[in-house]
Amino acid sequence: MGINTIDMNMQSLTDKRLTACLLLLILELFFDGAESAVSQQEVDRHLELGKQFLVNGQLSDALTHYHAAVEGDPHNYLIYYQRGTVYLALGKAKFALNDLTKVLELKPHFVAARFQRGTVYMKIGDYDNAERDFYAVLQMEPYHQDANYWYTRVQPARDQYMYIVESIQYNNHHNAIQLLTQLLEISPWSKLLREMRADSHINVGDILSVVSDLRSVNRLTQDSTDGYFKLSHLLYQIGHASDALKEVRECLKLDPEHKDCFPFYKKIKKVEKALTDAHTALERGEYQDCIDATKRALKLETEIPMIIFNAKQMSCTCHVKAEKYSDAIGQCREALELQKDPSVLCDRAEAYMETDMFDDAIHDYQSALEMDEHSQRAKEGLEKAKARQKQAERRDYYKILGVSRKATKREITKAYRKAAQKWHPDAYQGDAKKVAEKKFIDIAAAKEVLTDDKKREQFDNGEDPLDPEGGQGGFRGQNPFQHFYHGSPFQFKFHFN
């Protein structure tokens, strides 16, 4: 084979390779174009779905599709603008600003985006940047009505902020709160202004308003572990253990091993469970379980006054319900030493009344009414205590039979039979017989009243249904022993000379 033949074969091989390379290049270009076309179709589909969800108010779903559209076409300024408007609707100012800034990087003279960004700056209290954006809008469109309006409001807002700082420096917190409330109408998304108002609320002692402002701060930041811890700690300080637990859990969602939130969570979880157990037991009528649960809470928490108050308040109520009146008085007193509370005063008044300490009961009910003039419990309790005090000067049917005021009909009947047998007149002679007759009349009256639901209710409310002065007639016009002749459990013969 000659050299010329070899050269020709080599040339043929080279031409084939070049042809193959060209075919591959053409195929790559074709598929790239096809892939690009598919990608644009996907972007358009996501944009259409995002628009539909936005119209229906399904903002989170709309946001998902706008995210996908941005990934498919990261250089389209309109997609960023549309996503930014969704962020604004969700109140996510930080993300809205990022998207609006990206829009203006891609299209600097987009007036709507620049005006929108200016309003966001205004809402978060960034007055310098707001002023720059509104000014830029007016350079492009001098007669832009909304931009003119907001541009004129920037300097007054800035001035008011300086007045607020001055008020706080001079400890005029009431004035600072008023000015901050006005400024927050213009800048409702300002984390700084809400924190300043929270601090002023602390200085005037309005803790519930502090809680409200700190919750707003947490909603605005959404990723502040310190904010959740601060709010949780404050709620616990004012005795809201369940709410405190919810907030510290939000902190742990962001950082499961947060140096402050984690140990605080472990503590308040146990306290909150003990208080919840006490409340549940009280509702179920399991009063001893309630008492035991409050003891656990008091053992776990020995420093925070309002948590201790909540436990002792619950203990006071459960001791009253359990008819442990002496212990109840002590628990109620300890709760009242921490905080005056009308419901605790009513609990203690009830315990006083059940131990015949009517003057003390009346005093506590009156004190409760001074704190809450609309308290129906205190009003009814006061009337009952006064009536019971007056009643104590007359006969007490419960004492006559030696039963408690919570005694059942069966217990009352049993006590009646025992007392009737003991004081039956036929068992006595001479002067002792006259004493027995008086005792026996009282025993019969006690049985009549306490085994009759209506009469017993009257008596419990301080009215003697057998009192002749009350119009009931009592035993008037009838033999006081008449019912013993028919159906009496003791068939004794009476002899009255």
Query: Looking at 29-38, 54-63, 230-239, 444-453, which range is the least confident one?
Result: 29-38
**Confidence at 425, pLDDT banded by 50, 70, 90:** confident
Does residue 55 fall inside a structural domain? Answer: no
C-alpha 297/C-alpha 273 separation (Å) is 8
Dihedral of alpha carbons 127, 130, 136, 138, sign: negative
Q: In the prediction, which pLDDT does 481 show?
A: 45
Per-residue pLDDT, averaged over 184-198, amounts to: 93
Assess if residue 311 is contained within a domain. no
The answer on pLDDT for 491 being more than 60 is no
Cα distance between residue 395 and residue 447, in whole Å: 13
Give pairs for 396-401: CB < 8 Å, separation 24+. Answer: 397/442, 397/445, 397/446, 397/449, 397/450, 397/459, 398/446, 398/450, 400/442, 400/443, 400/445, 400/446, 401/443, 401/446, 401/447, 401/450
CATH of the domain at 451: 1.10.287.110
For residue 124, the model assigns a pLDDT of 94
Residue 369: its pLDDT value, please? 95
Q: Is 418 within a domain?
A: yes
Residue type, 25: L
Q: Is residue 426 part of a domain?
A: yes
The tally of domains found in the chain comes to: 1
Range of the domain at 482: 398-497
DSSP state of 74: T
Q: How far apart are CA 34 and CA 338, in angstroms?
A: 77
* DSSP character at residue 471: T
> Which residues lie closer than 8 Å to 224 by C-beta, 6 or more apart?
217, 218
The answer to the question of residue 441 being in a domain is: yes
Domain annotation covers residue 26:
no
Task: Specify if 3 maps to a domain.
Answer: no
- Residue 488 scores a pLDDT above 50: no
Measure the CA dihedral 362/367/372/374, to 10°.
20
Q: Give the confidence band of 10 by pLDDT, cuts at 50, 70, 90.
A: very low
Residue 31 confidence (pLDDT) above 60: no
What is the sign, positive or negative, of the torsion defined by CA atoms of 312, 314, 319, 323?
positive
pLDDT, average across residues 287-293: 96
Say yes or no to pLDDT of 474 above 50.
Answer: no
Averaged pLDDT, 174-191: 95
Contact 275, 314 (CB under 8 A): yes
Q: Are 205 and 196 in contact (CB under 8 A)?
A: no
- Report helix, strand and coil shares of the chain as percent, to nearest 5: 80, 0, 20
Mean pLDDT along residues 482-495: 39
Whole-structure pTM over 0.85, yes or no?
no
- CA–CA distance from 375 to each of 333, 340, 353, 460 (Å)? 20, 15, 18, 20
Residue 68 lies in a domain: no
Asked if 311 and 278 touch (Cβ cutoff 8 Å), the reply is: yes
Residue 469, pLDDT score = 59
CA 282/CA 144 separation, integer angstroms: 65
Over 80: is that where the pLDDT of 334 sits? yes
